[in-house]
Structure 1
Amino acid sequence: MEPFWKTKSLQQMTRSEWESLCDGCAKCCLHKLIDDDEQDQMVDTNVMSDSEQLHFTSVACQFLNDKKCECTVYPERTTLVPSCVQLTQDNLDQVFYMPSSCSYRRLQEGRGLPSWHPLLHKGKKSKMHQAGMSVRGKVVFDNLVEEQQYEDFIVVWPLQDVD
């Protein structure tokens, strides 16, 4: 029998199936900056025009457990951090900043789950960490860095996508 992610569209998945697709890399917990040509500066925002460029930083939300790559306040995350977005089937198209390695994005683009995905390894994240696809050991927390300094923490490793 084929696994649900091969037989169902993202829209057809139950909430439980949808949640299990998250690979737990925690790249979505990183602050992202947008090159704003008009203001000649980097801005932390959730809106981007075609002429702007997205940059990932190694600055993570203070509520991230960087060892487990899990949110420590998951049920309350959108209340405690208003800029935290709950990814759903309905807003996936609008959440432009998901990295190319994101399982939701990969499935939406027809690329399937990556070989390191926890669903392919009995729910364990060890292959993902070994492949360098998570934020484990790579971040500093936003409660320790001034927002004006985020530009000093721009990184390219979140854009890596290995299969």
Structure 2
Amino acid sequence: MNDRETEPFWRRKTLEELDAAEWEALCDGCGRCCLNKLEDWETGEIAWTNVGCRLLDCQSASCRSYPNRREIVPDCVPLDAATVRAISWLPPNCGYRLVAEGRDLYWWHHLVSGDRDTVHQAGVSVRGRTISEDGLEPEDLEDHIVDWPGELPKQAREGNNEIGK
């Protein structure tokens, strides 16, 4: 067996080569992609909010109905390799984005740490930082614009994040 074959799947496969289980495992469980975002129609700039989709459990940072999410929330964006490469709003910690960019997963990703709780411990997830969109009017979203979903906390950045280094 050569060195390439012993590398974890996310280091040796492209997004297009992942099987269904690998694809699902690549999600770090942060919940940031489930936050409402506002787009400036003139500039295309994305403004993050701390308002989660109505299916986002704000305490666990997980979807309350993941298998049925697209039926319940029609504008839920299903991620596939093409979509990951095309959209600009995936958070900087997103495993799909990192692999698409040829970067490694961070130390706190469960595939690296072996613990699904490290995404929360590193301060990367939305756990305890969001509110639900239930009861909010769309025009109220502007009152909830925040920067943190588009940033990576300092404690989450430690370690090398380039594949092969």
- Structure 2 length as normaliser, TM-score? 0.85
Q: Distance in 1 between matches of 2:131 and 2:16?
A: 35
Paired residue type of 1:11: E
Structure 2 stretches of 5 or more lacking a match? 1-5, 158-165
Structure 2 CA distance, aligned partners of 1:18 and 1:76?
A: 18
Check if 1:23 corresponds to 2:33: no
Quote the residue 1:73 is aligned against.
65
Aligned equivalent of 1:144: 135
- Is 1:14 matched with 2:19? yes
Question: 1:103 — aligned with what?
Answer: 95
Structure 2: how far apart are the matches of 1:94 and 1:78?
19
Alignment partner of 1:32 is 2:37: yes
| Counterpart residue identity of residue 85, structure 2 | D
The 5 Å alignment of 1:57-68 reads 57-68=49-60
- Relative to total residues, which structure has the larger helix share, 1 or 2? 2
1:56 alignment partner, SS class: strand
* Structure number with higher strand proportion: 1
| Aligned partner of 2:86 among 86, 94, 109 | 94
Other structure's SS at 1:145 match? coil
Distance 2:57 2:39 in 1: 25
Distance 1:138 1:147 in 2: 19
Q: Give the SS at the match of 2:37.
A: strand
Report how far residue 90 of structure 1 moved.
3.0
Unaligned runs of 5+ in 1: 38-50
Does the alignment pair 1:153 with 2:158?
no
Give the 4+ runs in structure 1 shifted more than 2 A.
Answer: none
The aligned residue for residue 74 of structure 2 is 82
Question: Secondary structure of 1:155's match?
Answer: coil
Identity of aligned residues (%): 40
Is 1:3 matched with 2:13?
no
Structure 2 distance, partners of 1:156, 1:125, is 24
Shift of 1:94: 2.2
SS of the counterpart of 1:91? helix
1:91 positional shift: 2.0
> Corresponding residue for 1:47?
none
- What does the per-residue CA deviation read over 1:20-44, in whole Å, with 9 as the maximum and x for residues that have no partner? 000000001100001234xxxxxxx
Q: Secondary structure at the match of 1:93?
A: helix
Aligned letter for 1:89? Answer: A
Separation in 2, partners of 1:74, 1:158: 21
